[in-house]
Chain A
Amino acid sequence: MTTMTAPVSDAELGAIQAAKIVDARGSACPGPLLEAKKAMNTIQIGQTIEIWSSDPGTKGDVSAWSAKVGHTYLGTVPGEGYERTFVVRQK
């Protein structure tokens, strides 16, 4: 179970083994957010989802959403042509 809280270094983020990967590459706003929300309901509190997105707005969107609903946004690191965003389920 992930117990990290923000801030988390890029190296630490890159090493996270997420409980679920959400592949939202190619999905336009608000698709990645909606897919993240669905995925959050499939993992346990304290576990982490990793969202893959090619939409440049996803990082800010997921960060704001996490703060709004009470999850922990850990950060975002670049992938191969997309971004990897990590969020810990908190409720």
Chain B
Amino acid sequence: MADKEKLVIMATHGPDDPEMATVPFVMAAAALASDVAVVMGFQGEGVRLVHAGEAETVQAPEFPPLAKLLNDVRELGGLLLVCSPCAKSRGFVDSLVPGAEIVAGARFVAEVTSATSSLVY
């Protein structure tokens, strides 16, 4: 039996761009619903999306609230990986949402190179 497909989604936009902050979560939720494993990576301003309390501030027109999508992705088993220096520089190391894991570059490389496909937003 073939290994499960895996999609890596890198999110680099923060709450100041609600649409581009939300689309990665839409794709992640759709993939998870389609039995595709999902690893979400947060870099740059994207780390704000998994900083506790910030998802609740994001609502792009015609999209579900980001907080709901974040919850959906977590419930469906999506993995949330956060760029270490990006989190440190913003003082978020101890205030990420539950389940978010701080990692360094090599982990992202390992996830991307072992994925079926990857998307960068």
Closest to B35 in A: A69
Query: Which residues of chain A have C-beta atoms less than 8 A from B29's C-beta?
Result: 30, 33-34
| A19-34 near B? 1/0 per residue, CB < 8 Å | 0000000011111011
Complex partner residue of A65 from B26, B33, B63, B72, CB under 8 angstroms: B33
Q: Are B34 and A31 in contact (CB under 8 A)?
A: no
Interface check A61, CB cutoff 8 A: yes
Q: Are B64 and A31 in contact (CB under 8 A)?
A: yes
Which positions 33-71 of chain A face chain B at CB distance < 8 Å? 33-34, 37, 61, 65, 68-69
A-B contact count (CB 8 A): 29
Closest to B28 in A: A30
Q: Is the interface of B mostly helix, strand, loop or mixed?
A: loop
Give bound CA distance, A22 to B63, whole Å: 19
Query: Which residues of chain B have C-beta atoms less than 8 A from A29's C-beta?
Result: 26, 63-64
Interface check B52, CB cutoff 8 A: no
Query: Which residues of chain B have C-beta atoms less than 8 A from A33's C-beta?
Result: 29-30, 33
Interface check B94, CB cutoff 8 A: no
Give the size category of A's interface with B.
10 to 19
Closest to B76 in A: A34
Closest to B62 in A: A28
**Contacts A/B (CB < 8 Å), 15 sampled:** A27-B64, A28-B62, A28-B63, A29-B26, A30-B29, A30-B30, A30-B64, A31-B64, A33-B30, A34-B33, A65-B30, A65-B33, A65-B34, A68-B34, A69-B35
Closest to A68 in B: B34
- Give the most central of B29, B33, B34: most A CB within 10 Å: B33
Query: Which residues of chain B have C-beta atoms less than 8 A from A69's C-beta?
Result: 34-35
Give bound CA distance, A65 to B32, whole Å: 11
